[in-house]
Structure 1
Amino acid sequence: MSDSLAQLSAEYEALIQFLYLAPVGLVQLDADGEIAMINPIAAQLLMPHSRDGGLDNLFVALEDVAPDLRSQCRQYTASSGKICDGMHVHLHAGSGGAKRMPQILSVTLLKLDASRIMAVLDDITEQVRRECRQRQNDAWLNAVLTGITDYALASLDAEGRLCEWNPSIGRVTGFGPEAQGQTYAMFYPTDAITPEHALDRLREADADGWALDESRLLRADGSAFWGSVMIAPLPEAGREADHAACGDGAAYCLILRDVTDKRDIAERRRREAFSDHLTGLANRRALFEATSQELARSRAAPRPSAMIVIDADHFKAINDQHGHPGGDAVLQHLAATLLDAFRDVDVVARIGGEEFAVLLPSTDLAHALDLAERLCARVAREATAFDGQAILCTISAGVAVAVDGDGGVDLLLKQADQALYAAKRAGRNRALAWQPESVDAPVQEVIDGV
């Protein structure tokens, strides 16, 4: 018996040593997220994101950046198995430096039995950076090597206007000679691209050698297709050759391709990396990356960029009265309302448990505040249908604006958050714009009673 105990003790010590020396973060938790064991790498990854400096609960530690972990575990009904595999979690955007890539954490949850879950955590920031560059290279090679009959080819002037019409444009988009002289933005839905964004891509092509975008496009008859739009600057020789067609000379080559048949795979990958599990909105990572890019563009071509941060009022009371399924239904209803209220070019994201944010490119403070006020009124009058009941909910919203990209992502979100809590203190169910006096107001009493 003593030999058996000694062997078990040795095996246990070996297991503990393995867990603590493993090259990835390992956390053992119960079904409610309470941490029973954590190794040093996991603690190092999680500690900067702990609200109170402790690591007692994994769901709480990651609530601000991965608010749907708890619901994923709750919805997984099998006795054991993989709850999620390599889910990307955006940890932070850095301050000020728009070109700094956010830290990305890979999270895998394994259900061991009814009461135990193992989390595997890994910092994959550099891996994601390499994969992003590889995808860009693959897209370029694909554009060069794939049959040219799949493409519309056109030359653009320095303002992005089509210099000429040709049969390839008609074949892919259905537009005729009337397309000549219009900007390539004509291929996008009206609320999916701003004039500033259209020019941004020309500047990005100048800086990087080419600019690539995949999104929903429209044919001349109004039918939609999933398209790949690549823009590359022409060398000086090419500009001179096209001088007659483009007046001052063609400046860019546009390659437009219908990639609808490849959309399902691309969309699945995009959802896994950039979407919130519960609502289908963009997640925190997607919002931070989009905002960083938008502010960088605004520094190159000055214009305002607005941010609205939205929080459901008294959400804990909704969960207490209707349970978490009722709370989830309210969040899903709110997400659908947000998507309907804003443009395609705006980025609507869930960034916390009941907290949402909207990035509005090329939008000033007055317009963003007007949109937020109308949203508050709409949410207050549209109840959520759940289990034969109508659940009423209100929201509070804070609005801030970055002028010419100043301040970075963190400052813009901080100011919108401060305006949000000012709206909470003022009685909730309202939207307020950021003011300097918002900085000094305490928020803890508001947080405690959201």
Structure 2
Amino acid sequence: MVIKRWFGSLVNRAVALVVFVILLSALVVTVVGSWLSRGELEQQARQQVATMTQIVAGELDEKLARRLEILNHVAQSFTMDARAFESRARVLVQQQTALQHLFDGVYLMDADGNVIAEFPEEYQLVGQNVSHRDYFKDASNFNTPVISAPYASLYRDKPAVMIAAPVFNHSHRFIGMIGGAIMLDGEQFLKEFASIRIGATGYLSVSTRAGTTLAHGGTGEVMVPVRVENPILRDAMSGFEGTMRAKGVDGSATIVSVQQMAQVPWFVAAIWPTREAFAPMTRMADAFVWTLLGVIVVLAPLALLIFRRLMRPLATLGDEINERHLGVRTTPVSVAGGREIRHVAQIFNTVMDERDEVLGSLAEREAFFRSLTQSAPIGIVQTDVLGRIEFVNPAYELLIGRPASELQHTYLINSIYSEDRDLALSGWQQSLQQHEVFRGRFRLLSRADGQLIWGDVMTSVIETSDKALGTITVVRDITRELETEQALREEQRRAESILGVLQEGVLMVDVEGRIRYANEAACHFLGNGDGDCMQSNFFDQVEIKDDDQSLAQADFLAGDDVDSLYVTLSNAGGEVFDIDLTMLHVRQGSHDERMVFVLRDDSERRREEERLSWEATHDSLTQLVNRRAFNAALSKCLSDAPRQKARSVLMLIDLDYFKPVNDEGGHLLGDDLLRRLADLFMVSVRQSDIVARLGGDEFGIILPACGLEHAQALAEKIRAGVEALRIEQDGRSFGVTASIGVTEMTVQDSGTREIVSRADEGAYIAKSRGRNMVIVVPAPPDAQSPG
């Protein structure tokens, strides 16, 4: 109550407004300044963490590349026979002073993966077998230096990364390997980067894309999973690099920058909490708030004093107006004070003069109203605020069947049928309270025809600026209209019930595309499962395509009727239907033209056609294309040969020793092996290449615009993959090898048989030379010449 009384004064309100304007201006300045400052600070912070990650990632890549290069150079200097390599292993390791400074451990392994020398010898790993390690498998299989993924070393299970290079004899035969181990918790490599700080609380981390933390400047953890709850780190495992804002582990906001490394599938992440990055802005805001409080303390009392002096004439004017209202004062109020106060005083004097004129004209207006209502064709009733009738016109008398003398001073509500009175009374009271027009339909008691009639009733309040004087009610007989409407509704319900049970979607749209009617099936096609799609735009909700050509509203509006057009319909919910569409024009060319669409679901028939087409062109066991589809694709590829820059290649694969697999392991095992080989072929080739099962254990691959060199490398990869694929059953291992023939397609080839014969000749030669090899059969000499 104290606060309400204080704000009752205009002076106090003005002072509060001044303080509010100051606070609002300060708030706007603060928000804009904070937004600009925050953006600038965030840009600087992003650049700082991005630069840090780029520098660290570059240094790590450089160190790894340098170690890999030196280790590979040392491995090349060890070219000797296997016996000399094993006998001199300890001496060779001791001589590698440079490697001893670059790695935490240097090891020599023989061709079987046994450690034959080490430095330092305190690890005591000589005699251990590491052939199961991925780095040994990769270096020995691919004969190339590798950098391993993090692993638990044999020395106390400490986490480490191995850089390994193969060692060859003079015949370039693999005789062993030299490896340099980097302990992740050691001093050689990552620890110096983990200790780098960004500001006071920012830190760096180095992780692998496989999800293992190699170094963590915040927690010091090593060989722990990457915190995937951080979305940026989770994206970094998929190859993302960049700078973004994210939530930290404790929920605080941070700026995170990620840089992928070039030498290994690792990434460097820099994390800097925004509370530290934006600290200067926070200090500036605190200083601004204290300054603002000081300004308000000084200006508020000064504004209060000034406004009280300015508003003093207004209080005097209020007293004089009150005296004029009570009749104590008969002369006009004095005009003094500021311009606004003088204006109010002048208006009040003018209003009081006009008031006398208005009161004099009220009697004239009432007489005019009564003469007007006498000739009106609809019933008009005037009541007081209690609902008692004061005036009725002749039309209402005729409607009710009672004279005005009987209706005078009776309650209007008594003329309404008893079951409708509660609704009419609540509406009439609401009209009085809210000063709005009330409208409703009620049954009226009429003596004219001895039965109930329906009336359309509209009531409005008769009021002045300060109070309600009564109501004016207009009544229109709508009995016959309702009977006609009821008959029309029954016909409409009958038609809708028939359309509602149809499986076909039926809808009607106007020239603007708005849906005027739609049954439940049509709403289903539009993606409105609740069946409510009226008044929405049909062409905004769906896309209709005929052979990949979209049909718009104008196409249907300007075209003829459509009968059984097979189209594809997509709705806003992502659902796609195969539709048999029929469209009819109603009142074509007029402003109220309508289009009626009938939608029949044709998906089942089309799916059956697609299934039969797929089965005719694919092998049921391996899901690859069959010989017929393969021959068709080969013919097309041959016809495209003149337009291709690189030549297309045909590869025929004939499995070796497949019959023993079927005989000894059973046909189910043989089928399983064929399916796995089919998967191997599919993942080895491009999406544009065609893999087919030509029958039994024979496969064919068409490589459009591939080039012979790339095709030969791919054939070797497939041959190695087939050789490596094994299936275990009852303690036995089953597998096959592949004899592969490869040949190019040329414009001089007369047909597919000539190409297949060359590739088949290559597979035959491979089998005759001992199987499990790739033979390239060149095109005839005249086909190899340019042009």
Same fold by TM-score greater than 0.5:
no
TM-score, normalising length: structure 2: 0.23
TM-score, normalising length: structure 1: 0.38
Higher relative contact order (CA 8 A, sep 6+): 1
